[in-house]
Chains A and B, each alone.
Chain A
Amino acid sequence: MQPGDRVEREQGLRRAVLAGEECAWRTLYDEAFTGLYAYVLWRCAGLRDRADDVVQETWLTAVRRLRSFDPSTGSFAVWLRGIAANLLRNYFRRENRRARRTQPLASEPLASAAETREDAERIAEALGALPEHYEAVLRAKYLEGQSVAAIATERDESPKAIESLLTRARQAFRDVYRQSE
């Protein structure tokens, strides 16, 4: 689909939803659901219960704030991802505050399921702590499975610049991840 067609189509759907057309909302919802869920699950490092909460909250926020969605500045999927990223940021902020208030039980042996969950939380937290442009390039590479060349074309940059950006993003992720050990 051409960018112009996409904008026109999403503007039409947005208008219809704001006029109360439920089938227009159903179209937007069905088309974007899987992509949003995959993104949130990746950001939550596979923690399903957390991903479910965030996705649910994202959709409720989206339907309440649809008036602020402007298709000419980005697609509906990108707009949704922005809402989810904000919700995840808030979520991690809350979690950190709560973790500081509780005493760590360092001497207690951890069960493997709990260790797995802790690992997942560390990954999710590290992803949430990255600057937006690092998170975006890692998402393109790992979640969307794009090649360096494809990312470079999409961003109108050279493959060398994207390789460099990916290297820095991975290093930043590694640093944050190790800090939480």
Chain B
Amino acid sequence: MHDIFSREPDPLDDLLAPPPLPSGVGALRQQMYGPTSRVLRRRRWARQFAYAAALAASFALGLLVMRANMRPMAAPLPEPVAKQHEEPRPPDKPSMPADASALAREWKAFDSIDQRGERYRQAGDRYMEEESDLQSALRCYSSALDSGTERDQAISSDDNWLLMAIKDARQKEKEHAKNGG
């Protein structure tokens, strides 16, 4: 290949010739690397710091939002729980206001299906204790025994004298009927 610049020397060649590299270029390379790597390290730390700050900020924001949402709900929550524990309903006792009259109790017993015997008995007790109405008490106790189980027919120490007398009379009637009398 024809190359006039490779064959014809020119005084400019000396001026434009590349100067030789200094012998300590390796050391120079090592020396100049330090500041550039420090820039890189600083950038990496800044990025990590920014990431950690963003993470902390989002966590704090989440906490704030959670607290803000929980505050209005805190007051009404315990109320229904407390009520449930305060008033346990006895499963075996028919519910009736304590000051309900004997007549009201009798009507309640009349309308009820379950625990009917117990309700009539309570109505009879009320007639006896508060109104001394023996006729009504007799009616209620009789209905209580009619609605009750076989065990309810047996005389108990909890029974008052009227209920004992009714039970006793019924047992005698039964025995009499059994004996064909």
Contacts and interface: CB of A to CB of B under 8 A. Distances in A.
Contacts of A62: 36
A56 B35 contact: yes
B169 to A, nearest CB: 103
Nearest to A138: B16
Contacts of B33: 26, 29, 59
Interface string A15-49: 00100101001100110011001100110011010
A46 B19 contact: yes
A66 B103 CA distance: 99
A69 interface: no
Interface stretch (B37-45, B68-76, B128-136, B139-147): B37-45
Contact of A59 (B1, B6, B19, B32): B32
Contacts of B3: 147-149, 159, 163
Contact-residue size bin, chain B (C-beta under 8 Å from the other chain): 20 to 34
B40 A22 contact: yes
A143 B17 CA distance: 7
A123 B15 contact: yes
A148 B33 CA distance: 36
Interface in A46-97: 46, 48, 52, 55-56, 59-60, 62-64
Nearest to B29: A33
Contacts of B35: 56, 59-60
A174 interface: yes
Interface in A102-123: 123
B4 interface: yes
B1 A25 contact: no
Interface residues of A, number: 39
A148 B4 CA distance: 9
A30 B18 contact: no
A153 to B, nearest CB: 10
B5 A166 contact: yes
Contact of B25 (A37, A147, A149): A37
B65 interface: no
Contacts of B15: 45, 123, 173, 177
B6 A148 contact: yes
B47 A20 contact: yes
A170 interface: yes
A88 to B, nearest CB: 15
Interface of B: 1-6, 10, 12-13, 15-19, 21-22, 25, 28-29, 32-33, 35-37, 39-41, 43-44, 47
29 contacts: A20-B43, A22-B41, A25-B40, A29-B29, A33-B25, A34-B21, A34-B25, A37-B25, A37-B28, A41-B19, A56-B32, A59-B32, A59-B35, A59-B36, A60-B36, A60-B39, A62-B36, A63-B39, A63-B40, A142-B16, A142-B17, A147-B6, A159-B2, A159-B3, A163-B3, A163-B4, A166-B5, A173-B16, A174-B12
Given A20-B47, A25-B40, A138-B16, 14 more contacts: A26-B33, A30-B29, A33-B25, A37-B28, A38-B18, A42-B18, A62-B36, A123-B15, A141-B5, A142-B13, A142-B16, A159-B2, A163-B4, A177-B15
